[in-house]
Structure 1
Amino acid sequence: MDKQTKMIWERLDNASKVIGGVQKQLGEIGEFSKGMKDLSNVLKSPKLRGGLGEQLLYEILANALPKELYRMQYKFRDGSVCDAAIVTKDVIIPIDAKFSMENFKLMLDAETDEERERVKKEFIRDVKVRIDEIASKYILPEEGTADHAIMYIPSENVFYELIVNTPQIEEYSKKRSVTLASPNTLTYILRSFLLAYRQYELQQHAGEILKALGGIAIEAGRFSGELEVLDGHIGRTVKSMDNVKTKFGKLTGKIESVQALGEVENVPMLADGADADKE
């Protein structure tokens, strides 16, 4: 009985420890949730959220393009500043990242369909205003810009809402020559641009490349001729070396023959000397 009681208490003690550990983890999760809520409250500030959007835009540009092909905070002659721009010697493509999220968030939090539709109309109006502002402020062909600009939307779900569920926005943006881009689509656009730019640069320098290749071909021909001459010299040198080896071999054979003859002549002389001693 005492043994069973002891086992029960041990199990209860282990259970208590497990429960304590779970409570501790729940407390940590609660702290994490509180931290996330605090972060969410911080990001409610349009200024802070806008700064985060610009930072994410900068990282996308830095990962997709060489430094010489883009600028952050591009300034126009009238003092207007665009968040970023793709810059080449022939064209400038403005990219704007100032996007209003307040009404989109209200639309998601709406409790009734009527409220949701009302807020959605305001959200659509905000987006159109932003599109008009980008088109009027940043599409400036007289300053070397392209006839299109990019409106960067820093959220994939917002982009989806605009493209899929709000077709009038896509139509309006096309009419105003403003391309909507989420983080993923912007990355695709930048990579496509870089590929086209490199092909263009290759075509622009095709004449110089062909001229350089022609020069290389001439130098290769000269080198081939010199290589043939060197090959002839080496061949003759090898032949001369073979002749020298042959003659040296013959000379060595003659020397060995003379040495052998001398040894043969010395043998009788030694024998005669031995006979004289005996007499």
Structure 2
Amino acid sequence: MELILLVLLIAILIMLVVIYMKFNRSDSFARIEKGIEQNERELIASKSYHQSLAKSYEILLGELSKTKEYLGVSDAKLNLLTKTIRNMNDVMVNTKKRGNFGEYQLYHLLSLYLGHSSLLYETQYHLSNGKIADAILHIPNQKQVLCIDSKFPSENYLRLVDDPSSVIAQRELRKNVKKHIHDIAEKYIIPQETSEEAIMFIPSEAIYLYLWEEEPQLIEEAHRHHVMMTSPSTLMGVTMTLLAITKDFQRAQNIEKIEKQLISLKEDSDRMIQRYEKAYRSANTLIKQLDDLHISMDKVNGKIQGMYEGEEKDG
């Protein structure tokens, strides 16, 4: 969290540089720069997580007030920035809000990768055991769904960022992540209803990479319980694979449909050929009969003509 606040402080510093170039107030810039440097030292020296957050928050608001005083920043812009910082502070301190942030990011990424198709995924999915999965993925040609649950174990991770040697923070982080793994396996893997695996979505690339690099036993624990950990970037791989499988399945279904249509067309063609041959034979028979009738007509006509000519001679 302190790193995030430091980034915000640096962003404010850049804004002040631009305004400084416009108003050419070198004395104000020097004072603000000195204040930011002092803030960084105070943040680094702070050992308590919540105290550090609160202290950083108050310092930053103080700097914003100084910025307004020195450079005449409008109340509207200052209030907007203050509100943004306050909201971020609330999210990182409040466990429920951190969870909501993780869910929001999960929903946003799913809509980004898969669009808004209920054939591919659903959110807030109700299971038969009364649990509600943050999201589920529909696997082609299967009734079972693949559940996704968002977990954001940021508090102890940020303590580790503050103090990488903290044994307590490491132990608590392992404890939290292990509990998340067991909870997901218990709640979101149901025989005949869900897939044999479930996904734990971690909305922070930094925490995800830390677990893979520093806590391989947690990754193994997840595998033993059929829980797959994903981050925003690796979730894309999962969804793209699902999309490819779905397209292949639909293509296969179309091939089967085309094959059935071709078989039906072949049957119709064979039937048409049989009927044509029958009609052709009937037509040939009729033509032969017409030829025989024509011959008979010629004979009868010849006889009549001969009789008529004989009578004329006798007369």
Same fold (TM over 0.5): yes
Aligned partners of 2:202 and 2:208 also within 8 Å: yes
- In the alignment, does 2:114 pair up with 1:67? no
1 CA distance for matches of 2:220 and 2:98?
27
Q: Is the 8 A contact 2:200 2:229 kept in 1?
A: yes
Distance 1:155 1:121 in 2: 19
Give the aligned partner of residue 153 of structure 2. 100
Partner of 1:258: none
Q: 2:257 aligns with which of 196, 208, 211?
A: 208
Do residues 130 (structure 1) and 136 (structure 2) align? no
Q: Compute the displacement of 1:60 (Å).
A: 1.2
Quote how far apart the aligned CAs of 1:48 are.
1.3
Return the letter of the residue paired with 1:86.
Answer: L
> Aligned with 2:195: secondary structure?
coil
1:76 counterpart = 2:124 = no
DSSP 3-state at the match of 1:146: strand
Contact 2:152–2:204 (8 Å) recurs in 1: no
SS in 2 for 1:74: strand
Alignment counterpart, residue 48 of structure 1, candidates 83, 90, 97:
97
Partner of 1:253: none
CA distance in 2, matches of 1:164, 1:209: 50
Report the TM-score when normalising by structure 2. Answer: 0.57
SS in 1 for 2:236: helix
Report the CA distance between 1:16 and its aligned residue.
11
Q: Please point out which of 182, 186, 202 is paired with 2:235.
A: 186
* 1:17–1:77 CA distance, 2 compared to 1 (3 A): closer
Q: Corresponding residue for 1:232?
A: none
State how far apart, in whole Å, the 1-side matches of 2:149 and 2:160 are: 23
Give, in whole Å, the separation in 2 of the partners of 1:17 and 1:157.
39
Q: Give the aligned partner of residue 221 of structure 2.
A: 172
Aligned partner of 1:19 in structure 2 is: 25
- What letter is aligned with 1:68? L
Equivalent residue for 2:207? 158
1:39 aligned residue: 87
CA contact (8 A) 1:152 1:180 kept: yes
Identity of aligned residues (%): 28
Q: Distance in 2 between matches of 1:213 and 1:59?
A: 43
Letter in 2 for 1:92: V
> In the TM superposition, what is the alpha-carbon distance from 1:125 to its structure 2 partner?
1.1
Shift of 1:22: 6.6
1:36-61 superposed Cα distances (whole Å, 9 cap, x missing partner): 54233211211112112111111111
Matched residue type, 1:167: P
Instruction: Return the alpha-carbon distance in structure 2 between the equivalents of residues 17 and 72 of structure 1.
Output: 51
Structure 2 CA distance for aligned equivalents of residues 157 and 16 of structure 1 = 38
Partner deviation per Cα, 1:221-259 (whole Å, 9 max, x = no partner) = x9xxxxxxxxxxxxxxxxxxxxxxxxxxxxxxxxxxxxx
Measure how far apart 1:99 and its partner are. Answer: 2.9
Aligned length: 203
The alignment's TM-score, normalised by the length of structure 1, stands at: 0.63
Which protein has the larger Cα radius of gyration, Structure 1 or Structure 2? 1
Q: How far, CA to CA, are the matches of 2:86 and 2:262 in structure 1?
A: 63
Looking at structure 2, the residues matched to 17 and 161 of structure 1 have their Cα atoms a distance apart, in angstroms, of 44
Distance 1:98 1:17, change over 3 A: closer
Distance 1:176 1:16, change over 3 A: closer
Residues 213 and 126 (structure 1), Cα distance of their counterparts in 2 relative to 1, 3 Å cut? same
In 2: Cα distance, 1:201 partner to 1:16 partner: 60
* 1: CA distance, partners of 2:245 / 2:195: 15
Question: What amino acid is aligned across from residue 18 of structure 1 in structure 2?
Answer: N
Q: CA RMSD in A?
A: 3.3
Structure 1 residues not aligned, in runs of 5+: 1-14, 223-279
Q: Which residue of 2 aligns with 1:260?
A: none
